[in-house]
C-alpha cells in the first residue's frame, strides 16, 4: 500500500512521458504492442542436436526463455510492471508457462506453473530449473500452488468473491505472498509453446489481472523460399514468434534494444552457455536464486507443451 509491494519496488527515476502513460492507458489491454519475429530454425535445430551429442537435452522453448533471461540481465528495465497506475521494478525474474500432464485415462489435462530464474543463469541452468519444475508438475497427481488455488474457486460464488477481493488487494499492493507465488499472471514473461500442439504463433493478449508485461508464443515451423548471397533461390525453415508487450513500462528505444538483443541471442545461442560478464539491476535492486540442481552433471531438459 502507498507504493509498497512485496513483489516490486516503486521506480523513482522515471521519464515523465512514461509516468503519464498509465493514466492515459489504465489497463494492459489498452497498451498492448504486438510484433512478429522469424528465427532461423536451422541454426537452433543444429545447436540442439549438437548439445544432444554432448549429453544435454535442450528444447526450443528453453532457448527462448534463456535468451529472455540474458536480455533482462543486461536491460533490467524491461522487467517492470504497472500496478494502480504506478511503475514498479520487479524483485524477481519469473517465467510462467502451461504444460500437459501425463494421465492414465488418456484425457488432456493441463497444468500452469511459474519458474524463477537468476539473471546470471546460463542455458544449462535454465534447462535444469525448467526440468525440475516440469517433472514436479507433469505427474498426474501433481497439485502445485496454482492448481490448489484454482480448485478452491470452482464454485462461481467463491470465484467472483475471491477474484474481486484479489483484484482489490493486488491493486493496493497487499496481496498475500502465497497468492502472488501461486498466480501465473504475476510474472515477468508468459510463454506458450503452440508448436507442441501443431498451432501457428499468435499474438496472445497480456492479462489485465496480475503484473505480466510480456507474452510470447512459439509457433509451428514455417517453410519459405528466399535467396542466398549469390541470389539463388533456397528453401528455408523459420521458427515464428508472436510477442506482445505492455508499452507503458519502457520507452520505445528501450524496447527496440531489448528485441534486438533477444533476436541476436536466439540466432546465436552459444552466447547463452556462459554467464554474462556483468549483471545489471534496475535501480540497484538485486535478486538472486540458488543454483539449480544438476542431474548427473548434465542438463536433462524436458519437453514443455502448450
pLDDT the model gives residue 98:
85
* DSSP conformational letter for 294: P
Q: 269 lies in a domain?
A: yes
- 228, part of any domain: yes
Strand (E) or helix (H) holding 69: helix 60-74
**CATH code of the domain in which 201 resides:** 3.30.559.10
pLDDT at residue 294, rounded to an integer: 67
- State the Rg of the chain over Cα: 20
Task: Please give the angle made by the CA atoms of 229, 233 and 234, to the nearest 5 degrees.
Answer: 85
> Are the C-beta atoms of 131 and 99 separated by less than 8 Å?
no
CA dihedral sign of residues 246, 288, 262, 196: negative
Q: List C-alpha distances in Å: 162 to 52, 154, 156, 248.
A: 46, 11, 10, 28
Cβ(63)–Cβ(271) below 8 Å: no
| pLDDT at residue number 15 | 86
Residue 14 resides in a domain = no
Whole-number pLDDT of residue 20: 92
Range of the structural domain that residue 188 is part of: 19-284
pLDDT for 295: 55
Residues 6+ apart with CB under 8 A from 153: 159, 162, 163
Task: Note the pLDDT of residue 140.
Answer: 47
Q: At 72, phi and psi to the nearest 5?
A: -65, -35
In this structure, what are the phi and psi dihedrals at residue 20, rounded to the nearest 5 degrees?
Answer: -80, -30
Note the Cα 241 to chain centre separation in Å: 13
Cell digits for 193? 509453446
The answer as to whether 299 is a domain residue is: no
- SS3 track for 144-213: CHHHHHHHHCCCHHHHHHHHHHHHHHHHCCCCCHHHHHHCCCCCCEEEEEHHHHCCCCCCCCCCCCCCCC
pLDDT given for residue 302 in this prediction: 40
Q: Which residues of the chain have pLDDT under 70?
A: 1-3, 101-109, 138-156, 158, 294-306
In the chain, what's the furthest Cα-to-Cα distance? 66
Asked, for residue 298, whether it belongs to a domain, the answer is no
In a domain, 277, yes or no: yes
- What is the value of pTM for the model shown? 0.88
Is 301 inside a domain boundary?
Answer: no
pLDDT at 230: 83
In a domain, 11, yes or no: no
Q: Domain count for the chain, please give it.
A: 1
Q: Is there a contact between 265 and 70 (Cβ–Cβ < 8 Å)?
A: yes
Amino acid at each position: 500500500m502507498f507504493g509498497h509491494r512485496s513483489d516490486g519496488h516503486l521506480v523513482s527515476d522515471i521519464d515523465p512521458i512514461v509516468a503519464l502513460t498509465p493514466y492515459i492507458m489504465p489497463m494492459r489491454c489498452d497498451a498492448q504492442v504486438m510484433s512478429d519475429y522469424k528465427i532461423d530454425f536451422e541454426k537452433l535445430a543444429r545447436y540442439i542436436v549438437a548439445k544432444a551429442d554432448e549429453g544435454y537435452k535442450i528444447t526450443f522453448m528453453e532457448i527462448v526463455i534463456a535468451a529472455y533471461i540474458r536480455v533482462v540481465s543486461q536491460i533490467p528495465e524491461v522487467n517492470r510492471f504497472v500496478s494502480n497506475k504506478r511503475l514498479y521494478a520487479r524483485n524477481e525474474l519469473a517465467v510462467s508457462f502451461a504444460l500437459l500432464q501425463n494421465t492414465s485415462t488418456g484425457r488432456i489435462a493441463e497444468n500452469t506453473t511459474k519458474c524463477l530464474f537468476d539473471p546470471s543463469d546460463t542455458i544449462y541452468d535454465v534447462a535444469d530449473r525448467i526440468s525440475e519444475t516440469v517433472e514436479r508438475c507433469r505427474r498426474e497427481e501433481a497439485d502445485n500452488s496454482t492448481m490448489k488455488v484454482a480448485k478452491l474457486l470452482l464454485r462461481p460464488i467463491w470465484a467472483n468473491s475471491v477474484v474481486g477481493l484479489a483484484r482489490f488487494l493486488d491493486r493496493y499492493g497487499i496481496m498475500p505472498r502465497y497468492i502472488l507465488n501461486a498466480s501465473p499472471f504475476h510474472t515477468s514473461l508468459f510463454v506458450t509453446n503452440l508448436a507442441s500442439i501443431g498451432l501457428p504463433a499468435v499474438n496472445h493478449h497480456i492479462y489485465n489481472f496480475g503484473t505480466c508485461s510480456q507474452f510470447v508464443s512459439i509457433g509451428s515451423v514455417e517453410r519459405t523460399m528466399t535467396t542466398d548471397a549469390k541470389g539463388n533461390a533456397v528453401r528455408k525453415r523459420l521458427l515464428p514468434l508472436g510477442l506482445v508487450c505492455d508499452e507503458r513500462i519502457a520507452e520505445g528505444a528501450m524496447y527496440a534494444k531489448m528485441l534486438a538483443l533477444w533476436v541476436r541471442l536466439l540466432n546465436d545461442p552459444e552466447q547463452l552457455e556462459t554467464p554474462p560478464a556483468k549483471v545489471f539491476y534496475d535501480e540497484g535492486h538485486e535478486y538472486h536464486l540458488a543454483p539449480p540442481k544438476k542431474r548427473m552433471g548434465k542438463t536433462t531438459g524436458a519437453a514443455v507443451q502448450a
